Amino acid sequence: MPTNELDDLITQAEAARLRNVSREAIYGLVARRKLRVVEIGGQKFVRRSEVESYTPEIGGRPPKATSDANKRATGQIRAIRGASTSKKKGKK
């Protein structure tokens, strides 16, 4: 490996400080293969250029697409449930 490529290698802890995240976050990116690892003498390094250029993906579940008919139907169901549960029965 040429010297200029060695200069681009940093530890995962340094990568975490560089991105202002936890080490576990960097370990997770490595585990999910979002960042490549170079192992030298049993120690793992990541490329500074990859860490700096990494852009996080938008996570979470996408929003549901609800139609007006769905909104009306769920509103009607809530109204029916609310009406039946709002009556209190007396104790005997």
Q: What are the boundaries of each domain within the chain? A: 3-53
Tell me what pLDDT residue 28 has: 94
Predicted TM-score (pTM) of this structure? 0.59
Question: Residue 84: which pLDDT band, with cuts at 50, 70 and 90?
Answer: low
Name the phi and psi angles at 9, rounded to 5. -85, 135
Q: What is the pLDDT of residues 38-69, one digit of tens each?
A: 999 999 999 999 999 999 888 888 888 766 66
Question: Given the DSSP bridges, would you call strands 37-40 and 9-11 parallel, antiparallel or unpaired?
Answer: unpaired
Q: What is the pLDDT of residues 11-36, one digit of tens each?
A: 999 999 999 999 999 999 999 999 99
Q: How far is CA 49 from CA 8, 11, 15, 53, 87, in A?
A: 7, 13, 10, 6, 66
Angle between helices 23-31 and 12-19 (to 10 degrees): 110
